[in-house]
Amino acid sequence: MLPFSYAIRNLLRDPTRLLQKVLGAALVVFLVFAAGAFNSGMERVLQATGSAQNVILLGAGSEESVERSEVAVQAETLAAAGIRGIDTRAGVPAVSGEVHYMGKVMLANGNESQALLRGVTPTAFEVHREVRVLEGRFPGPGELIVGRLAYRTLKTDAEDLAIGKSITFEGQEFEIVGHFDAPGTVLESEIWLNRSDLMTLTQRDNLSCVVVRMEDPESFARADLFARQRLDLELVALPETEYYGKLAEFYAPIRGMTWLTAVLVAIGAALGGMNMLYAAFASRIREIATLQAIGYSRLSIFTSLLQESLLASLIGTLLAAFMAVTLLEGVTINFSIGTFRLLLTPNVIGLALVSGLLLGSLGAIPPALRCLRAPLPKALRSS
């Protein structure tokens, strides 16, 4: 076998060509990191937002959008009294009638932005138990609390949403009286305010949904039975996990586009790298023939050529990994229903590393085989 140092020396023969190989591999692997982190982050936040114990009662026909849903106000009380198996805490049933509204708000600095507002009552904390008030208190009339990442959705600085600042919605000024978080969910990019305030300002006389927390996930059938029996309320019951699962399906084309972009760029880079290697190996065809003439087998020469390509690809992969950790990890992305963080999960890292290896190996095999197939006498006479 040819020594490994032979592959390293050949790799360093042409620094310009080496740089092109490394940067090409780094670009492709970085795109794989980005596409994977985007998909993992969005999928994780939608999965984490739904609780297996929660059931959402929506208006019939509005299963895919809680904002379009209309539920009678009395459904909250009727659900609390009519559904068996509702979880309770300190004697309070975990039932929360809510209003969801996407609208424009104006910050104290004059900036306007879209935000998801959720009109709630204190029982919202009984069903969304991942929500914690970090500082401040629950809002009263004319007040609101903001999620930890709401500043990202509002495209402003976190200081603009400090306690004591104000947010104007539909011409009425609301004072910020608290901050909350709900780690890993879309809730922490929302604005919560008094439900009556939101219903008055949006001129609604009904709710968007009623969220019910059951004692155990298997109790969904009881909530579903309630929705089917109360035909007058025109409700449909969905496990909260299923609702957010449908949202994940809704965004599947966007996630698919990120993968498609990465694959197309990878194919382009592989073809470009292959052409580069064709030229590089063809210029060494006499040297390769000489190695065969002095006794090295085609397999050992092929292995050495593959090592060269893999080394360049590996350097590019390591560079891409460094860029991904530096530029992608933890970056927050806004989308229509909230904010999520890019996540470099073990699966994403593994996929990117495999992509780098495939790029280095598949791109080198055809040029190497072509050089080795040349007849030895003809190859030795080539210039």
The dihedral region occupied by 257, where left means phi > 0, alpha psi between -120 and 50, and beta the remainder, is alpha
Mean pLDDT along residues 216-220: 84
Per residue in 124-177, pLDDT (tens digit) is: 999 998 899 999 999 999 999 999 888 888 888 888 899 999 999 988 999 999
379 against 371, higher pLDDT: 371
State the pLDDT confidence band at 295, using cuts at 50, 70 and 90. confident
pLDDT mean across residues, the chain: 86
d(CA 242, CA 285): 61
pLDDT exceeds cutoff 70 at 336: no
CA distance 91 to 239: 23
Buried-exposed string 265-278: b where 16+ CB fall within 10 A, e elsewhere? bbeebbeebbebbb
pLDDT one-digit tens code per residue, 37-89: 888 888 777 776 778 899 999 998 877 778 788 999 999 999 999 898 899 88
Distance, CA of 242 to chain centre:
18
Collect all residues with Cβ–Cβ distance below 8 Å to 132 and sequence separation of at least 6.
180, 181, 182
pTM for the model: 0.71
Structure tokens at 95: 């039932």
What length is written for the chain?
383
Question: Helix H segments across the chain?
Answer: 4-11, 15-49, 74-82, 124-127, 150-153, 195-201, 220-229, 240-250, 252-282, 285-293, 298-327, 346-362, 365-373, 376-381
- Which of 138, 282, 129, 115 minimizes the C-alpha distance to 191? 115
- Is 81:155 a contact under the CB 8 Å cutoff? no
- Does the pLDDT at position 95 exceed 80? yes
Q: How confident is the model at residue 383 (pLDDT cuts 50, 70, 90)?
A: low
Is the model's pLDDT at 337 over the cut of 70? no
pLDDT at 16 over 80: yes
**What tokens appear for 143 in the block?**
């007040």
Return the pLDDT at 345.
Answer: 87
